[in-house]
Structure 1
Amino acid sequence: MSAEADGVAGTYGDLSPAARRLYAYAVERHAFHTAEATSALGARAGAAITELAAAHLLQRAPGGGADRWSPVAPRAAAARALAPLALLVRETHDEMDRLRGRLEALVPAYEAGAALRELNGSGHLELMTDLGAVRGLIAELSAGCERELLTSQPGGGRPLESLEEAIGRDESLLTRGVRMRTIYQHTARYSRPTAAYVERVTALGAQVRTLGDGLMRMLIFDEHTGLMAVPERSGAALVVREPNVVHFMTAAFERSWVGAEPFPATVSPEAARSISDELRQTIVRLLSEGLEDKVIARRLGMSERTCQRHIAEIMRAIGAKSRFQAGYLLSPSPNDPKETP
């Protein structure tokens, strides 16, 4: 709000009791001198006169000198006080119309360029590196989504800020009848904000499942447009509109969906043990592949410290004294019948 508007708002705050008494006094007499008000209401009359004059509720009485006042009707006072705000609103609307006109003048050029990209295929893949632009595109695609949104979110529990941004958008989708399926990693089950979010969207018909490993961060809108995370570039996204690539992304999601487990409202001790066992098995596999702790932790959506604790337990269980020995002991034997073609 401008300084001018702030001034008007401050003027029209609640009147003090003294100002209210003085206004009633003034209305009864039509006009009065400051000395008369002071005699009737006491020492606060001077401050009350200043307050009422600032609120346009008192004016100098015509022909009565600088010390004679008369009341102003509240509606007339409001008209005077709101005049600066009304002017500000008109100027703001005019500026909005000018800005809208300047931007909408570019619509034909944008549509022509988009049509050309569609013809030559250059618009089928687009790298976006600005996080704000990525969020804006997600909001735009969500608003236009008509049938189904598929989401794959690796990395464990989602940040509270991301969930707060997503909940309104996703609830709007679901209330429009758009189908929504989401896959998290198992570790997301232990995130209270994520569990609360899941509870809200599933109540509206969303389906949410979890998987241990192998997720790719992506969103797919109506099997028409996909967004994929860009490795080692936080906040960047690859926008995919090429039909064959979007079909591949959808097929990858469906394979993960079949192997995933429903996200429960609560995690029972039995389910927690089952998930922990599956996580340890996955850690064993990744250890045998020679991956570092931080890489395994990122793959499984857990902190590096938690991952190291699991690795230490596994090493104790197999009697390994080093990661190298653990990797050797956990590697499949060349004579393992499971490795025989």
Structure 2
Amino acid sequence: MFRTLGGGDLPTINSKPTHPHPITELCEAGARLYASALGTGRIARADVEPAPCLLEYALLHPDPDDPNWLRPVPPTAALAQRLHPIEREIQDRRRLSVELTDTFEPFLAISAQKRATTHAITVLEGFNRINAALDAAIAESQTEVLTVQPGGGRSEHVLSEALERSKPLIERGISVRTLYQHTVRYSQSTFAYVEHMAGAKVEIRTLEELIERLIICDRTVAFIPARDDRQVALELRHPGLVQYLTKVFEQLWRRATPLRDELPYESTPDGITGVQRSIAKLLVEGHVDEAIARRLGMNVRTCRAHIAKLAAALGSGSRAQLGYLIAQSGILEQDH
């Protein structure tokens, strides 16, 4: 409850001390003097100077026989006087609730009939609204949650939050399947997260490249980003859209490698790794370092280190020459 500043140290216009507090927090002096007045039937006006609240809240009123004395208002009367406007406000709000329901009731039936289309796509703006919608959908999940999480290894803080969010799903025995990129395999935090999930219906697989985030709950609602800064997302409930995205997930899942399994990469005779072949492919397609790093879930510095090793393996002295040598080497023709 809000409190006003003061308590006896702020002057009024006539320099008398103020005594601010709500009636629900009657001061000690006020409570003591009011109880005394109720017990004796009256109290001297001079005695209540330490508690002006008693007069302010009409708990005392002047004695009609002697102006130097005050008589207490019965607590039942004082309480009724305070409760009456509150009860009237409650009645007014109940009446308003009924009126609002009556107003919108004709439209509810129409909305129910059109729900499949009007709520097929919902635009969510801001992290708070996006997270609230996600939490609600996950809380309502009954069978499975599918997620695609591009990028490299997560921080301990992010994985800790993910663990807390996953606990209700684990406790309800709901299946969770997550796709990460291969770069999470170099993150100890990721494997610690997996250890915490031991015994739960949680599966993690990885792919070299993932496009964007995707979350599907019970194959009935899906969430995808609508802007690169992740401040806007789309909540999709159209059965056709959700079914299509689920098929995309399943196709990616079949191509992915379980986190505990070795990656099916084999280095070339020149020592070029699978990751470097993926970088080579994107280089030939004309992507810059930053775009390649983002698509493969690694930082730019790591990406450039791989490019340098690739150039050294192929004997390239320049970026332009590297593209030519990649095309001539035949490394892109090898199966990943």
Answer yes or no: same fold by TM over 0.5.
Answer: yes
* Letter aligned with residue 19 of structure 1: G
Distance (whole Å) between structure 2 residues aligned to residue 78 and residue 228 of structure 1:
56
Q: CA offsets per residue over residues 150-172 of structure 1, 9 Å max, x none?
A: 121224549x89997x8887555
Gaps of 5+ in 2: 3-19, 261-272
**CA distance 1:127–1:28, change in 2 (3 Å):** closer
Aligned residues: 294
Partner of 2:147: 151
Q: Which runs of 5+ in 1 are unaligned?
A: 3-8, 38-44, 118-122, 263-276
Which residue identity does 1:222 align to in structure 2?
D
Q: What is the alpha-carbon distance in structure 1 between the residues aligned to residue 227 and residue 293 of structure 2?
A: 16
Q: Name the SS for the 1:108 alignment partner.
A: helix
- Kept in 1, the 8 Å contact 2:215–2:223? The answer is yes
- Report matched runs for 1:1-341 at 5 Å: 11-35=22-46, 37=47, 45-48=48-51, 50-55=52-57, 58-64=59-65, 67-72=68-73, 74=75, 76-114=77-115, 126-131=120-125, 138=134, 141-156=137-152, 157=154, 171-185=167-181, 186-187=183-184, 202=197, 205=200, 207=202, 209=204, 211=206, 213-215=208-210, 216-230=212-226, 234=230, 235-237=232-234, 239=236, 240-242=238-240, 245-255=244-254, 258-261=256-259, 282-283=278-279, 285-302=281-298, 306-307=299-300, 309-317=301-309, 318-319=311-312, 322-329=318-325, 331=326, 333=328, 335=330, 338-339=333-334
One-letter amino acid of the structure 2 residue matched with residue 52 of structure 1:
L
Change (3 A) 1:224 1:238: closer
* Separation of aligned partners in 2, 1:168 and 1:214: 27
**Secondary structure of the corresponding residue to residue 68 of structure 1:** strand
CA contact (8 A) 2:175 2:201 kept: yes
Question: How far has the Cα of 1:241 moved from its partner?
Answer: 1.3
Structure 1 distance, partners of 2:187, 2:42, is 73
Per-residue CA distance 1:18-45 (angstroms, 9 max, x = gap)? 334423432342201212x1xxxxxxx4
Deviations 1:201-254 (A, max 9, x none): 948945253635433422222234434444759524272411752552342353
CA distance in 1, matches of 2:137, 2:87: 37
Q: How big is the shift at 1:60? A: 0.4
If each structure's helix is expressed as a fraction of its own residues, which one has the higher value? 1
Aligned to 2:268: none
Q: Secondary structure at the match of 2:64?
A: coil
With 279-288 and 98-107 compared, the bigger mean Cα shift is at: 279-288
Cα 1:100–1:250, aligned 2, differ >3 Å: closer, same or farther? Answer: farther
The 1:94/1:76 distance shift into structure 2, 3 A limit, reads same
Change (3 A) 1:207 1:173: closer
- Name 1:268's counterpart in structure 2: none
CA RMSD of aligned residues (A): 4.7
1:151-194 deviation per Cα after TM superposition (whole angstroms, max 9, x unaligned): 21224549x89997x888755544444333333444598698x9
